[in-house]
Amino acid sequence: MKFHGNVGFFVSVDVGHHVYKQQFVEKPYYGDVLRDTKRYEPGQKINDDLTINNQISIVADQFAYDNFGYMRYVIWRGQKWKITEASIDYPRIILSIGGLYNVSGNTEEP
Q: For 41-82, write each residue's pLDDT tens digit.
A: 777 777 766 677 899 999 999 999 999 999 999 999 999 999
SS3 category, 106? coil
User: Domain for residue 76, yes or no?
Assistant: yes
User: Domain for residue 110, yes or no?
Assistant: no
- Distance, in Å, from the CA atom of 57 to the CA atom of 35, rounded to the nearest integer, reads 10
Q: For 4-13, write each residue's pLDDT tens digit.
A: 999 999 999 8
Position 58: which residue type?
Answer: I
Domain total in the chain: 1
* pTM greater than the 0.85 cutoff: no
User: Domain for residue 50, yes or no?
Assistant: yes
Instruction: Residue 50: give the domain boundaries.
Output: 2-105
Helices (H) and strands (E) in the chain, counts: 1, 8
- Distance, in Å, from the CA atom of 90 to the CA atom of 87, rounded to the nearest integer, reads 9
Q: Which residues have C-beta within 8 Å of that of residue 107, sequence separation ≥ 6? A: none
User: Domain for residue 38, yes or no?
Assistant: yes
